[in-house]
Amino acid sequence: MRSVQISACQFPIERMASFNDFRTRVGWFLEQVPRDSDYVLFPELFTVGLLTTYPNSERLSSADLTRIDEFTPQYLELFRGVARDRNQFIVAGSHLERHGDRYFNVAHIFTPDGRDIPHKKTHIFPAESQWQTAEGDDLEVCELGPAKVGVATCYEAEIPEVCRILAVGGAEIILCPSFTFSERGFWRVRHCAQARCIENQIYFVHCCTIGHPGAPLPDGFGRSSILSPCDTAWPANGIVAEAETNRAMVVTGKVDIDELYENRKTGAATTFRDRIRREPVYRKYDPYRPQRQDAATASVAGRAAPAHA
C-alpha cells in the first residue's frame, strides 16, 4: 500500500500590519499540520492581505493587488525555509508575480531539498482580468516523494482538458489552490473537482481561501476537501476529508495511491481506461482538429507531462 497523507490549510484573508504578521499566521497553520503529512497545501492568492500593509490601503482598489509582487522575495524565502525545516512538500498557494512586463498567478511547490517548482495558471478566471494577469502555457506532472502530482489552480479545475492532460501524464493527485468570491463560485469549483476525480480516477485536493476582510480585498467562500472517485474503494460521496465552511482550520486525510490503479482495472466505473479505449471515436468529432498546428495548442500539449525526479 502506497499511503499518502495530505493537509490543506483553509486560510482566512485578514488585514495585517507587516509581512511578519503574514509569517505568524502561516506559522499558526503549520502548527496544526501533522509532521507526517507528505504534502501541505495553502490556497490561491492567500497573500492578498499583504495589500493592507500599505499606508491608506483602504483607499486602494482591488486593481492595486499587483503591488503585492513587492513581497515576492520574502514569500519565496519563507516557504523555502518551511519546506526544508519541516521536511515536507509545501504548495504555498499562489501569489501574483511580475515576470518581465506581465503579471502571472503563480503557484509554487517547495521541496525539502530546496527546489521551487512554479506553475503559472493557464486559464485566468474572467474577474482576474482587472489585474491584467497573463496566462501560462505549461502543465507539468512532478514526481515528488510518494506520488506524482499536478497543480490546477482554481478555475483550471473547471477546464476538463487541464486535469486530463495531467492525469494522462501520470498525475495521481491534483493539488488545487482555490479562491472563490461567492458560494456559487465555490460550488462550481467543488463540483468540477469531483467530476475530475471520476473522469480520471485520481485524487483531488481543493484548498480554499476564506474571509471577509473588507475593501479593497475580495471576500472568500470555501470548504476545503480531499476528494476521491465515487467508487467502492472510498466513501460513497467521494469525500476523504472535509473542512467546515468558512472556518480557519487544517483538514488532513490519507489516501492509498495503489488503490487508484486497482480501481482503474476493477472498479464499478473504469472511466480512465474507457476514455483511452474510445479515443478513436472522440477524434472523429474533435473540435480542435482544424487548429492542431496552432502554436498555443501545440505548446501546451507538447510540454504537458515532463516528470521531476
- Comparing CA positions, the residue from 33, 35, 28, 8 lying closest to residue 240 is 8
Find the catalytic residue in 120, 121, 142, 176.
121
- Structural element, H or E, at residue 30: helix 19-32
Is 44 a residue of the active site?
Answer: yes
Cα(307)–Cα(148) distance, integer angstroms: 8
Is 9 a residue of the active site?
Answer: no
Cα(177)–Cα(89) distance, integer angstroms: 14
Find the catalytic residue in 154, 163, 197, 208.
154
Helices (H) and strands (E) in the chain, counts: 8, 13
Neighbours of 264 (CB within 10 A): 20
Neighbours of 111 (CB within 10 A): 19
Do residues 118 and 79 make contact, with C-beta atoms less than 8 angstroms apart?
A: no
- At 103, list the grid cell: 503579471
Find the catalytic residue in 9, 44, 97, 163.
44
Listed in sequence order, the residues at least 6 apart from 70 whose beta carbon sits closer than 8 Å to its beta carbon are none
- At 40, list the grid cell: 501541505
- At 69, list the grid cell: 509582487
Which residues are part of the catalytic machinery? Answer: 44, 121, 154
